């Protein structure tokens, strides 16, 4: 009889019910889903940020190369060729006219997505910069957008057939260049007042063309088309184009 009373006094033991188990699983799934969404967003944001940084670096490197090379545009090996010298020794030494430079030309391609320019370079044959005032084939340079590969290219002189020697400077497997627009801005300054006597022949008086090149580059990431960048730079050509003569 005593044993029966003790059994009745002991509290009954119960496990987790089915409803409680389902509620616990549901709450756990909700928490896991929320954490997964947050982690996925952070991973995607980090990936997008890395793509933007990589694209910005690639465009900046290409723009720096373009600007550094453009600073050489118009350079001639012997600047004295462009200086007029008056007659000396009572006319025994005649005046020497200024020789026009074959390097001053800077032009935009007909397609609007290319730029061409020239400058004198070092010659291994003479062991000095070209001073002949004669343009050589390897002294012609340029940049363009290759519409087939969608990459920027640099023209390093001419090939044997006279065509530009194009070399890629951006990787089409990483970024796609969608737009490359160089615009040449020219400001003409009259130098007539510097002549002695002052030049009055407006059609042939000396002038100086100060030239700037505005360049816009637009690109899209190859891995994520939503990542886009636009870079705009301006470079002043150091060698101005001087034309005309004093009377």
Tokens of 77: 């090996």
**What integer pLDDT is reported at residue 71 of this predicted model?**
92
Residue 10's pLDDT is 57
Q: pLDDT tens for residues 111-151?
A: 889 999 999 998 887 888 988 888 988 999 999 999 999 99
> Are β-strands 228-236 and 207-221 bridged in parallel, bridged antiparallel, or unpaired?
antiparallel
Residue 34 has pLDDT above 70, yes or no: yes
DSSP secondary-structure letter at 192? G
Residue 51, classed as helix, strand or coil, is: helix
Provide the whole-model pTM.
0.75
């Amino acid at each position: 009889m005593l044993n029966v009373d003790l059994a009745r006094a002991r509290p009954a033991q119960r496990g987790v019910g089915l409803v409680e188990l389902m509620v616990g699983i549901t709450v756990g799934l909700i928490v896991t889903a929320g954490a997964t969404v947050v982690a996925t967003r952070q991973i995607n944001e980090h990936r997008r940020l890395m793509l933007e940084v990589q694209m910005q670096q690639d465009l900046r490197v290409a723009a720096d190369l373009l600007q550094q090379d453009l600073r050489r545009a118009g350079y001639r090996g012997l600047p004295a060729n462009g200086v007029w010298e008056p007659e000396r020794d009572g006319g025994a030494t005649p005046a020497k006219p200024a020789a026009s430079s074959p390097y001053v030309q800077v032009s935009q391609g007909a397609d609007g997505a290319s730029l061409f320019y020239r400058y004198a370079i070092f010659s291994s044959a003479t062991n000095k910069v070209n001073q002949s005032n004669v343009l050589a084939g390897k002294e012609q340079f340029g940049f363009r957008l290759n519409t087939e590969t969608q990459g920027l290219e640099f023209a390093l002189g001419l090939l044997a057939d006279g065509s530009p020697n194009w070399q890629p400077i951006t990787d089409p497997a990483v970024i796609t260049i969608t737009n490359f627009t160089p615009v040449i801005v020219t400001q003409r300054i009259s130098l007539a007042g510097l002549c002695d006597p002052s030049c009055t022949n407006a059609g042939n008086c000396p002038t100086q063309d100060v030239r700037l090149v505005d360049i816009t580059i637009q690109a899209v990431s190859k891995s994520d088309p939503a990542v886009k960048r636009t870079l705009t730079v301006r470079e002043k050509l150091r060698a101005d184009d001087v034309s005309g003569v004093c009377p």
